[in-house]
Structures are given as structure tokens and as C-alpha cells.
Structure 1
Amino acid sequence: MKTKISTDLEKRYNPNKDAFMLLNTSSYLDPRFHRLIHLDRDQQQEVRERVKSELMVIAEDCRGYEEDGEVAAMAKGTQEKTALGAMGDLFGNVYQGAESTDASGRPTVDIGNVLQQEMLIYESETPLPTDSDPLSWWKASGSKYSHIAQLARRYLSIPGSSVRAERVFSTAGIIVNKKRSALDPENVDRLVFLANNL
């Protein structure tokens, strides 16, 4: 029986399929299974690389939003400069040290190293017991792993089954029958919503 189940799972979740990577990325983001001991080293590294690449996209998106906010704040701040602020702008870099800065004078940060460090610290966490709630853990630890927490929210919010969606379709089939086939689509949406949320 175990062999049949194992064979069936290997067909469905073959390492060459997208579902395999999706499930293992979700496992990495679950603090109960984040060490990926069920995979060999090459597969573990492949999952980590995928997570890191997705984290880079999230970090770049966040950086873009911050820059937009900073541009607006700088535009507002230029109107409110004082003489002391102008002196600070003029001589501030002399006393800040030898940090590298970008064109706007902010210190540059290698986001790849930051994400790598965050992942290493996350991977060194002791796995949670299997009966614990990973979402509660992320709620408590989200500030410690800010980038990984954003990705975990995306993956761990995926429903585990399609039962709920199937029920919605069944409800719609009951509501729209031969006698009620002329219903307006907006009314159908409202009736389905009410039937599933009362």
C-alpha cells in the first residue's frame, strides 16, 4: 500500500514539475519543515535559490515604494530647510565615515547579503513541533524576518484544497436553473455570495 501511494505521489509531484517546487517552497516557509530534510542537497539548494530570487523581487518592490515616499518627503523637506540643515547637508558626509553612498547621499546596502543573512538565521531556527500553528509563529516573528515573512504570507495563504471553490460552483448551479436562467449576472453574484456567507 505504501509503495502504491509513493508511486502515485511521484507521478503527481515529479521534481520536474512546477507543483514540486511550489510545495517545497511552501515547506521551506513553514517553520515546522524549513530545514527540508525530505530533499537531497541539490534539491534543497534549488529551493533556497528560488526563495532567494523571489525575496529579491519583493525587496526591490519595497525599495521602489520607499524611494517614491522619500522623493515626496525630500521635495517637502527642501521647502523647510533651515541654515543648520544646510550646514548638515554641506558637511554631513565628512563626519559619517567611509560608507559608500548612492547619488542621493544614502548609504548603499547590498540587498543580496541582507537576504542571505536573513535566510541563514531563519534556517538556524529550531523547527516547531508538527502540531503547532505556523501562521501564529509568523505573526510573532514576522518583524525578525521581514522579507521572508512577506513571502510566507503569499505561500501559506494558498488554500490546501479546492473544496470551498467547488461548493461555490455547486451553489451557483443550484441558483441558476432552467426557471431562473434570465437572472442578471450581478444578481447571481449577490445570491451566490449570500448563500455562501450566511
Structure 2
Amino acid sequence: MATNMKGKYEKYWGDVSKMNILVFISVIFDPRHKLQFVSWGLNKYYDKEIADSLNKKIKETLSRIFERYRSFSNKGEAESVAQEVEGSQFVTSSEVYDQFEKDMDQDPNSSKNEVDLYLTEPREKKNPDFDLLNWWKVNSTKYPTLGLIARDILAMPISTVASESAFSTGGRVLSCYRSSLTPHTVEALICAQNWLRSSPLSVDIEEHLEDLEKLEEEMAPIPQLNEGLSDIESD
């Protein structure tokens, strides 16, 4: 098993040239790291030739992703503008100027300013309470296209172990010797297994002392309950 795990590690992580470029792109979309951290790490741990090649590949990949997302977003905007122009008989000077601004935004030479602006701005300071997804949610108006890319890339799980483990749990419950269980029974077995293996919650009795006293007062008028409690205490 160790040999197989080592072989799988070497296949996907041992050779940096075989690594998924999206791993580096996701680091760039962390405003605390950006491209500086990726370039620093590659130059520090790999030869200059490999580092330069990967840096170039990462920048080209980021540019292609941005152009693709930008083309899709601009296509939707262009269709909406065309419908508005077709429905109107007269075009005012303000509408002409708005159309000019949108055409300039679609210019390939000016569209890269959004990427350059994000990469050249100062990085966020290291903070243990930093919320990466909330940062992109707030700054998506400033970086609309990059915000769409970050939404898709940062939503990808870093590993499939959790999902594979969840699906394999059902396979361990429903075996070839136990294949006639109802869905409710299987659900109960999986939930009970999860509850039994979970770590116990720490409860502070003093914080709930008042609630316990109120509960005892409410249960005091019930004679059957009091008799049962007295029998338990005597045992």
C-alpha cells in the first residue's frame, strides 16, 4: 500500500511539470499570495529553467482563462444591448456614449487591465480571521470577470477523499451478505455510525443550571415521573 501511495504521489505531485496548473491559479486568487508567492516558491525550490517555464505557463493559462470568461460575459451584454437598440427608433447621444464605453471595455488590449490591476495592487496582510470567499464577494464589483473565475476555481475541492469516503460508507453497510435493507434502515445505520464515532461535546453544567432547575419545577407536578425518578435513585 505504501508503494502504491508513493507511486501515485510521484505521478501527480513528484514531477512539478505534471501538476495541474489550476493548483497554482487558485493560489494566485488568494489576495494574500497572488502571483508573487507562486513565483517565489518556484524559484526557491526548482531550477531556474523549470521555474521560468512554469511561470510563463501559469501566466498564459491565467490570461486564456480570463479571455474565455470575458468573452462569455461580454457576449451576454452585447446581446442585451442589441435587443435594446432594435427596440428603440431613436438613439440619443448618451446611448451612443454608453455603447462606445462598452465597446472599449471589450477591446482585448484594455481587457487585461483587470488582471494587471489585481496583480499590481498590494497584497492583503496575513490575518487568521481572513475570509477568502467573502473577500471575493465584496470585491467582485471591482473585478467582475476575475470574481467569476474565483467563484468557480475556489469551489473545487482540493481532494476527492471526502466524497469517495462518503460513497464507500454505503458500500460497507450494504454488502453481498446484507443487501435487503430498506433505505430507512441504511440511513439509520450510517447516521448512528457517524454519531457514535463523533467526538463528545463539552457541556458546562453551571451554564445550564438555571434551565435544569426550571425543568425540575415543571416536572414536579407529574407523579408518575417522580415515582420513576425515585425508583432510579433508590436503585
Deviations 1:82-129 (A, max 9, x none): xxxx3xx3x849xx68xx96xxxx744444333321112111222231
What CA distance in whole angstroms lies between the structure 1 residues aligned with 2:24 and 2:139? 21
What CA distance in whole angstroms lies between the structure 1 residues aligned with 2:154 and 2:104? 32
Equivalent position to 1:142, from 140, 145, 151: 140
**Which residue does 2:25 correspond to in 1?**
25
- Which 10-residue stretch deviates more, 140-149 or 172-181? 172-181
Q: Does 1:167 align with 2:149?
A: no
What CA distance in whole angstroms lies between the structure 2 residues aligned with 1:113 and 1:72? 26
**Which residue does 1:38 correspond to in 2?**
41
What CA distance in whole angstroms lies between the structure 1 residues aligned with 2:31 and 2:170? 38
- The alpha carbon displacement at 1:168 in A equals 1.5
SS of match in other structure, 1:65 = helix
Counterpart of 1:63 in structure 2: which amino acid?
N
- The Cα RMSD (Å) is 3.8
Q: Does 1:61 align with 2:72?
A: yes
Gaps in structure 1 of 5+ consecutive residues = 1-7
Deviations 1:105-158 (A, max 9, x none): x74444433332111211122223163332222122121111111111111111
Deviations 1:41-89 (A, max 9, x none): 54333212211111101111112222333344344x24xx4xxxx3xx3
TM-score by length of structure 2 reads 0.57
Counterpart of 1:123 in structure 2: which amino acid?
L
Which structure shows the bigger proportion of residues in helix conformation? 2
What CA distance in whole angstroms lies between the structure 2 residues aligned with 1:70 and 1:11? 46
**How many corresponding residue pairs?**
170
TM-score by length of structure 1 reads 0.65
- Which 10-residue stretch deviates more, 30-39 or 108-117? 108-117
Distance 1:111 1:27, change over 3 A: farther
Q: Does 1:120 align with 2:110?
A: no
Runs of 4+ in 1 over 4 A off after TM superposition: 8-11
Deviations 1:15-54 (A, max 9, x none): 32142x2211111111121022213454333212211111
- The alpha carbon displacement at 1:13 in A equals 4.7
Distance 1:159 1:58, change over 3 A: same
**Which residue does 2:174 correspond to in 1?**
176
Conserved 8 A contact 1:138-1:149: yes
Q: Which has the larger radius of gyration?
A: 2
Distance 1:107 1:123, change over 3 A: closer
What is the percentage of aligned positions where both structures have the same residue?
Answer: 21
Conserved 8 A contact 1:33-1:127: yes
What CA distance in whole angstroms lies between the structure 1 residues aligned with 2:133 and 2:13? 27
Gaps in structure 2 of 5+ consecutive residues = 1-8, 43-50, 196-235
Counterpart of 1:15 in structure 2: which amino acid?
V
Distance 1:140 1:154, change over 3 A: same
Distance 1:16 1:117, change over 3 A: same
Distance 1:174 1:73, change over 3 A: farther
- Which 10-residue stretch deviates more, 31-40 or 145-154? 31-40
